[in-house]
Structure 1
Amino acid sequence: MSEGKKPLPFAANFAAGAIAGVSEILTFYPLDVVKTRMQLERGKAQHGLFGTFKNIIKEEGAGRLYRGLVPPLLLEAPKRAVKFAANDFWGKTWLGAFGQSTMSQPISILTGCSAGATESFVVVPFELVKIKLQDKSSTFAGPMDVVKQIIKKEGVLGLYAGMESTFWRHLYWNGGYFGCIFQVRALLPKAETPQAQLTNNFISGSIGGFVGTVINTPFDVVKSRIQGTPRVPGVVPKYNWTYPALATIFREEGAAALYKGFVPKVLRLAPGGGVLLLVVEFTLGVFRKALGPPYV
């Protein structure tokens, strides 16, 4: 934000994040289905990106690539809105707390981690429903059937299975994403035109999405295992808490298993991170013009 500009209101940041989130998920959702399938595979054998795509289409039909779309589509607006609005809130909060007037690399990482932690509390029930529907063995009729059966068997708190692993997943992804955006923007040539600014946003967002994915994929694998494993009364789940589950997967399946689904995940979230930032910044620019001085 240029010196002298007034910060946009919370509603503008919230709306920009919502529009960006819906745009991203409509573009990249099939890769998320493939990623989840790969993460739910047990053992060291993997079908790989193209093998998993092929098997889903061959055995279940192309429509299965959009199975479970409704929960994340309903989620994307509040999820991405919370992500960018929380990042804006925590950025201002940490700058004030440390007595700084401009963002630095450490504060940008701390801000991203704080935004991710905030976001995680919003997404858990939606993520749980999505995982249940994306699983190959799923017999649920739809999103509401998942919700009803979970509440019936486990109570309302059952919708928050995997809360702890989701917290770590979002904390690390957002820290890497927003921390990289700050650093990459500083290294890119200064944008002299709106088109150059959009290009810089896409590049920095894509690199941020890649780094965030590298950091958080093991936590995403654990989250998928925790949320995808049926709960049996009286039986302690094999995958229950994040760090012990990481150790279990590493011991039984090897280090590579912690990166199951990495290729479709990074193919989605690297360019997806670029799309997110590009749409957010473009939408905020529209709001600034519409609101006029002192926002422009």
Structure 2
Amino acid sequence: MLSLLANVLNISTPYQMLCVKTRMQLETGKSSLGLVGTLRNIIKEEGAGRLYRGLVPPLLLEAPKRAVKFAANDFWGKTYLDIAGETKLTTSLAVLTGCSAGATESFVVVPFELVKIKLQDKTSTFKGPIDVVKQVVAKEGVLGLYAGMESTFWRHVYWNGGYFGCIFQVKALLPKPETQQAQLFNNFVSGAIGGFAGTVLNTPFDVVKSRIQGTTRVPGVVPKYNWTYPALATIFREEGAAALYKGFVPKVLRLAPGGGVLLLVVEFTLGVFRQALGPPYI
């Protein structure tokens, strides 16, 4: 149920933002067209339908990704509470739990992200998702579908750490809710702020991930973008610090409000489970 609701949530967010974000991150050089310029260029040169290229992988990914994210967050939360001998999460444990959930989630995400990036690249000639999988496996083997695993790992570690850690901290600062409406408001605000914070932290790693996964591998040639932290240094040196935040605007427009609505969905679903199964462990 949780996965289904989260899936509906993400389908309802503007998918065009994913395509625009990818294009902005794959664009090299110090100059940038920005959100509006990139969107206008795609429509002018390739047609509005191009904005929906690569739609299938994210849609297929949403349900398993959200299920793994929150199941892992629950598992790691309980594990760290036992290790620390605590009965309630602290800020540091919330961040550690979120980072661990993100690391777990990243293993599910990589192949879907790879296919999406390959399809959304401006120079892409793939016929569709299946064609991407076939060609990548034929040229690089099954492990080729996990190109960018390391950068995806860091992307999700930082986003989830920022998201769950911020939610915990913001909820503690907000007035204690006296009504159901106030509880919903607190959840949305803390989730939205958490989504914003997670996006600020992880965008540089998302840029690197897109560059790595968008690179066509040539046998015997070491790719320019290969490992996360050296790639971050390369982009910073050649394109400036601002390049590490390419695609930030379309990304945050999805993930900040999306983080708020996602937390509403999760809290509602957990409330149903609490009533049916009794109080949770934490």
Write the letter of the residue equivalent to 1:232: V
The answer to whether the 8 A contact 1:17-1:280 is kept is no
How far residue 55 of structure 1 moved from its aligned partner, in angstroms, is 1.3
Q: Which residue does 1:280 correspond to in 2?
A: 266
The answer to whether the 8 A contact 1:198-1:282 is kept is no
How far residue 197 of structure 1 moved from its aligned partner, in angstroms, is 1.3
Whole-angstrom CA distance in 2 between matches of 1:37 and 1:217: 14
The answer to whether the 8 A contact 1:208-1:273 is kept is yes
How far residue 25 of structure 1 moved from its aligned partner, in angstroms, is 3.7
Structure 2 matches for 1:96-135, cutoff 5 A?
Answer: 96-135=82-121
Q: Which residue does 2:227 correspond to in 1?
A: 241
The answer to whether the 8 A contact 2:136-2:145 is kept is yes
How far residue 18 of structure 1 moved from its aligned partner, in angstroms, is 4.4
Whole-angstrom CA distance in 1 between matches of 2:170 and 2:93: 15
Q: Which residue does 1:173 correspond to in 2?
A: 159
TM-score, L = length of structure 2: 0.96
Structure 2 matches for 1:1-296, cutoff 5 A?
Answer: 15-289=1-275, 291=276, 293=278
Note the aligned Cα RMSD (angstroms): 1.3
Moved over 6 A (4+): none
| Unaligned residue ranges in structure 2 (runs of 5+) | none
CA shift in 2, pair 1:101/1:201, >3 Å: same
| Unaligned residue ranges in structure 1 (runs of 5+) | 1-14
232-241 vs 60-69, which deviates more?
A: 60-69
How far residue 72 of structure 1 moved from its aligned partner, in angstroms, is 0.9
Deviation digits for residues 31-83 of structure 1 (CA, Å, limit 9, x no counterpart): 11111100000101101011111111222222222211111110110001111
Write the letter of the residue equivalent to 2:176: K
How far residue 17 of structure 1 moved from its aligned partner, in angstroms, is 4.0
Write the letter of the residue equivalent to 1:37: R
Write the letter of the residue equivalent to 2:203: T
The answer to whether the 8 A contact 1:21-1:276 is kept is no
How far residue 294 of structure 1 moved from its aligned partner, in angstroms, is 5.6
Whole-angstrom CA distance in 1 between matches of 2:157 and 2:89: 19
Number of equivalenced pairs: 280
Whole-angstrom CA distance in 2 between matches of 1:204 and 1:17: 20
Write the letter of the residue equivalent to 2:178: E
59-68 vs 100-109, which deviates more?
A: 59-68
Write the letter of the residue equivalent to 1:59: E
TM-score, L = length of structure 1: 0.91
Identity %: 80
Whole-angstrom CA distance in 2 between matches of 1:216 and 1:91: 22
How far residue 195 of structure 1 moved from its aligned partner, in angstroms, is 1.9
The answer to whether the 8 A contact 1:115-1:171 is kept is yes
